[in-house]
Every structure is written in C-alpha cells, then in structure tokens.
Structure 1
Amino acid sequence: MPFTRTGLDVTGHTRLHALLRGADAVLRGIAQVALQANSYAGAVFLLGVAWCSTAMAAALLWGVVVSTTAAAWAGVDRGAWRNGLWGFNGGLAALTTLLFAPAIPSVWLVASLAALGTVPVGLLLQRMLAPRGLPALSLPFITMLWCVLGLAAAMGWQAPTAHPAATLAAPTALSAELAAGAVLNGVAQVFFQSHWGTGALVLAGLLLSAPRACALALAGAVAGSAVAWALGATPQALGSGLAGFNGALAALALGHVFLPATARNAALAVLAAGATSVVQWGLSVALAGTGLPTLTLPFVVVVWVALAAAARR
C-alpha cells in the first residue's frame, strides 16, 4: 500500500483495502472543493475548516462520505470516484445546509439528503453538459441548497434571508488590514468560512498539492477582491472574503485544471477571476428578493464562458 504524491495507492481486494480506498476518496473529495485531487491536501483543508468551526467540518466530512458512498452505488466512473469528483458537492451541500438553514427541523437529516441529492443531480448535469464539453463544477450543490432553502421558506421553517442587490458605488478606503483580510478570507470562503487561520491552512494545503495552485488561488482572490472593491463593495463584504472566493476558484479552474499550464492561461485565469465579481454583482441583482444566495454560481458561469471560448479558438 504505497503512499504516492497525491494519496494512497490501494490495489488489494480485502475489506480493509476497500475501506482505505474509500477513506482516500473521501479526503480527495474534500480536496476537490478547491479543485485538487490530493488526499493530503484534503486532510489539511478539513483541519482548516475545523479551525473555524468543528460543526462545519463535521458537516463537510459527513456530506462527502454520503455522496461518495451513493456515487459508488450508482456505478459512476471509478477513476472520477477515486479522485473525489463525486464527493465535494455532497460535502458543500451538507455544510451550507447547516450554514444557511440552521432553523430547519432535523437539519442533519436534511443536510444528509441534500448531500445525497447531489449525485443524481450531478449525473443529470453530466449528461446535459458533457456533449458541450462543460463540467458541472459546483452546480449540483447549488441546486440542492436552493431546493433546501425553497423548502424551508415554503414550510415556514425559516424566513427567506434577505440578500440585497449590489449597487455601484465609489470604492471605500482600503487599509492594509482590510486588504489582507479580503485575500485570506477570500481563500477561506472557498469552504464558506471566514477566518484567517482557515485561509492560511487552505493555502498550505494548496501548496502541498501544487505550488502553482496556491499562487493562482492567491492571485484569484486578489483579482476578485480588487474588482469588487472598484465596484464599491462594502468593507464587510471585502473583509469577510465574500468578494474573493469565486475569483480564487475561477483562477484555480482555468489556470491549473482545465487549460494547459502556460503563462498565457495563468493570465487568462486571473482576468477571469476579476470577472467573477462583475458576474456576482449581476447575479445578486437578478436574485434580489428571492432569498437565494449566489454561492459559487459566478465561478461556474465564468468558467463555462472561458472554456466555451477556448474551445472555439
């Protein structure tokens, strides 16, 4: 059972080997929240979330376990399963259910069902998007959380949360403390946490997985936060990292995962990271009054547009 650079390489067929394969897939599923197929990075990311909230770390881990197990039963592609690609949406669905809908009765049961639902939703989206050469990314978890929030509002369990539309305004005064918070928390918000320690550990996990990924996540958080600042984002939105995490994800996706690792594509990835703040502004206007958060939808939209444009070159 050798340890490789990205995790365990388990080839045996005993029950213990199966358990170890599953554990490795779960850790890779956590890592895939930040688009990494590295179980060591997944362990560091989980520690980073626990630094901010043990409850959120437990929800993330449980959601990944649920969706990873369900995907194995569904007979998904084994390589994708082992790399955690069927785990991260479940983890995010469970975590954000606790975060955005804590008043729901039996919230852990609902979080488990949300995580489970990301698998059939992911299979459906895969069938729809694969012919167009587009990945589902985090859309399955967005879909499930929106369903949870809609159900909570319909049943009267929880009033819809007000998400006011963003407005264009003059940039606020920018201090070094605010800028540093925007970047570190922007990385932490990839896991929907706002804590400098979480951000530092996420960066450490990325550095462990691939130094290029770490650099791109930092650059993406900077670019997304800078554009949001120019559009007049509030100090609270900047300092909490809400203006930077979609940029960090977009930079990782385009500069490290889906396009060749060239300097030109790295520059494109950073530009796309800045564009996520513009898209987030537009989506917040479109969703104002619905009670639905934009989540990682700006990242999904920007990556789809960039990949579609790259395919036509």
Structure 2
Amino acid sequence: MNNDNSDFSKGEFTSLLLASLRGFSQVVFIENVISGVLILLAITISSYKLGIISLLSSIVGTLIGKIGGAPKNSVNSGLFGYNSVLTGLAVSLFLTGPSRWGIALLGAMIAAIFTATMMHFLKNIDLPILTFPFIVLTWFVLLASYKLDVFHLSDSLVPQSLAYWQLNIAGELNWTAGFLNNIEQIFFLNHPISGVLLYSAIFVASWQLGLHAVIGSIIALLLSYVLGGEHALILGGLYGYNAILTCMAVSIVFSSQSNRFKIVSGILATCLTIPLTASFSTWLLPYGLPVLTMPFVVSTWLFLGARKMLPNL
C-alpha cells in the first residue's frame, strides 16, 4: 500500500511539474515542456530569484486549476499557469520590502482564479483571455500601494505629470540589443543570453511561430523608429514585446485557413501595437503604472473580434 501511495505521489508531482513548465511556454502560445524549460532557464540566467518566484507562481496557478477541478486538458496544457507566471514576476519586480514575495505568490493564486473567471465569460463570444487577468491584477496590486502600507512600490515606478513631460529621442540605437530586448521584455528580463534562449524556445516548438516572433520584433524596431519613438525605449524593447505577441497571435495562433489575409491582418495588428503602447504609456504616466501587455490584448481582441464579421481577415 505504501509503495502504491509513493508511486501515486510521484506521478502527481511529475504531472504538476510538467503542467507548470507548460505554463511558461503558454505565455508565448506554446504547449511544450522543452520550451518551458528554456524559458525558465532564460529567466533564471537573468535573475535566480526571478527564476524561483516564476516557477513557484506557475506551480501555484496550476495547483489552483487542479484543486479547483478544472478540465484536465486545460490544467495539463499550462493554461492556468501562464498568467500566474507573469503576475508573480511583475509583483516581485515592482514591489519592494519583505512581504513582496508572499504578495507575489498570493497574486499568482488569484491570477489563476481570475483566469478561470475570464474563461467562463469569454467562451460565449469565442475570444481568448490572453494575458488580461495578469494585467488587471498587477495594476490593482500596484495601485493598492498608495492606500495600504503593506504594499511598497518600487522606486522604478514614479508618477509623472504630463505637464512637464518632454519627448527625448536622442541617443544611438543598437539594433541587435533592441532585437533581443524585445522578446526579453515579455518576461521583464535584461540579459542577452536570455533573449537568445527565448527565441530558441519558440523555434523549438514551431518554426512558424518563431518566424513571426522575428517579424514582429523587426516591425516594432523599424516602425517605432520611423514614428519618432524614444531611442531608450526602443533599445529597451518596450515597443517590441507587445508586437511580438500580437504578430504570433493574429497571424498564426488564432487564425485558420479561411482567413485568407491573416498575414496582412497580423502585420496590421502588429503595427497598431506601437501607437497603442505610446498611448497607454502616456495614459498611465500620472499613475506610475507599467503598460504591461495591454497593447497586445487590445490589438489582438480588435482583430479577432473583427473576424466574426470579416472572416477573410
């Protein structure tokens, strides 16, 4: 009997770990354990603390799905982990103090519950939830810091008045660094090896997704430069990560053979993320909030919703 229980426990742990690793890969629309390992490695190389909190966050989110009785295929494919991964990373980065790790894990748990809620409400209109739970939850946590003393906002998030804002487009551009930073910013990273690993994680699972990640990154670099974006933001990848996710989502992940112009609509949706990023950044400036992946969500929902009436898109 003890051996049976031991085998069962090992089997459950293995299943939980594999599902949690897929939670990492689901951030970039992939259900692949190897890709998940590469992404976790990319995070850990940039910061071992972020690697630990991201893994724990994915496990917490996956556990909520399992304990809550979600469909096994949804849990095992990592769909309850990816919003938790991003939430854990964001909260641990944008808060300070000894309580931030506990808040990050609690946020990861709530992110999984929020994910389940969004799955229920959006299934009737046939739209994916994407990273919307992560965005809203992270913004609420960060804003709570102004009224609740246990939340300590990082010094990197400083509210600024638009009345004194000045656009600064001076400085040289390192296109290679910008290209790598574009994909790193999906996971809040800043390490060249991490960028290489993240692109590799996508190509390992699908060369088509990998190609569109590259296309999205290049479009973001060129268009943000032509439109006169701040060079520091372009170099830091802050215009690129939403473009990468959008290009993959609209052109490949949520398209079908019936969408004859899916590549064109994917490129248009990708281009739209650049002014959306600038707009959301301006809107959130007085609150000191990061844009996160909201431009990706808005642009993707816009084009996927349009396909209900314009199926060729």
- Output the TM-score relative to the length of structure 1: 0.88
Can you list the C-alpha shifts for 1:213-254, whole angstroms capped at 9, x where unaligned? 111111111112322222322221111111100000111112
- Aligned pairs for 1:1-313 (under 5 A) are 14-101=8-95, 103-156=96-149, 157-158=152-153, 161-162=157-158, 175=173, 178-260=174-256, 264-313=261-310
Contact 1:225 1:277 in 2 (8 A): no
Distance 1:95 1:299 in 2: 18
Helix, strand or coil at the partner of 2:289: coil
Distance 2:236 2:260 in 1: 30
Bigger mean CA offset, 164-173 vs 144-153: 164-173
Deviation at 1:37, TM superposition (A): 0.6
Amino acid in the other structure paired with 1:121: F
Contact 1:172 1:234 in 2 (8 A): yes
Match of 2:3 in 1: none
**Number of residues of Structure 1 aligned to a counterpart in Structure 2:** 298
Distance 2:183 2:51 in 1: 16
Amino acid in the other structure paired with 1:158: L
Distance 1:56 1:225 in 2: 27
Moved over 4 A (4+): 163-175
Deviation at 1:145, TM superposition (A): 1.1
Deviation at 1:305, TM superposition (A): 0.3
Amino acid in the other structure paired with 1:206: I
Deviation at 1:123, TM superposition (A): 2.0
* Alignment root-mean-square deviation, CA: 2.3
Change in CA separation of 1:289 and 1:159 when aligned onto 2, cut-off 3 Å: farther
Distance 2:86 2:305 in 1: 26
Change in CA separation of 1:151 and 1:173 when aligned onto 2, cut-off 3 Å: closer
Change in CA separation of 1:188 and 1:159 when aligned onto 2, cut-off 3 Å: closer
Contact 1:254 1:303 in 2 (8 A): yes
Amino acid in the other structure paired with 1:255: S
Distance 1:254 1:244 in 2: 16
Structure 2: runs of 5+ lacking an equivalent = 1-6
Change in CA separation of 1:170 and 1:129 when aligned onto 2, cut-off 3 Å: same
- Output the TM-score relative to the length of structure 2: 0.88
Contact 1:247 1:299 in 2 (8 A): yes
Deviation at 1:128, TM superposition (A): 2.3
Can you list the C-alpha shifts for 1:10-68, whole angstroms capped at 9, x where unaligned? xxx83322222111101100111111111110001111111211111111111101111
Percent of aligned pairs with the same residue? Answer: 26
